[in-house]
Amino acid sequence: MKIETTVTADETIIAVEGDIDLYSSPELRTAVLKAVPRATTGVGVHLGGVTYMDSSGVATLVEGLRSAKENGKTFSLVAPSTSVMKVLELARLDSIFEVRSG
């Protein structure tokens, strides 16, 4: 998995590529939980390059959403891949997250 964080005046974007699974999700969790309190208004997690995501990845995203709400920030999923959307739909979380195109 590859993670790249970009900070702009409006938002912090965390771009993720590869698989988000039990072994890689702690790295994403660290990136998200560091970004949330530092973000000006919110965090966007770009998931267009994610080829696979399991339940640990879902838990990481839910934790990021919870942290953002606690910090008064927005949290969105940007351009999630088809495989990510399928997992979110199966978990019935697709309506919980703000999902936006690239």
What is the number of residues in the chain?
102
Q: Which element (helix H / strand E) includes 23?
A: none
pTM greater than 0.75 (yes/no): yes
Note whether 97 and 77 are within 8 A (CB).
Answer: yes
- Of the CA atoms within 13 Å of residue 62, those in its CB half-sphere come to 14
Q: Please write the tens of the pLDDT for every residue from 25-83.
A: 999 999 999 999 999 999 999 999 999 999 999 999 999 999 999 999 999 999 999 99
Q: What is the pLDDT of residues 52-62, one digit of tens each?
A: 999 999 999 99
Q: Does domain 2-100 have CATH number 2.60.120.260?
A: no
Going 5 to 6 to 11 to 15, the CA torsion angle's sign is negative
Is-contact 43 9, C-beta < 8 A? no
Tell me which DSSP letter residue 54 carries.
-
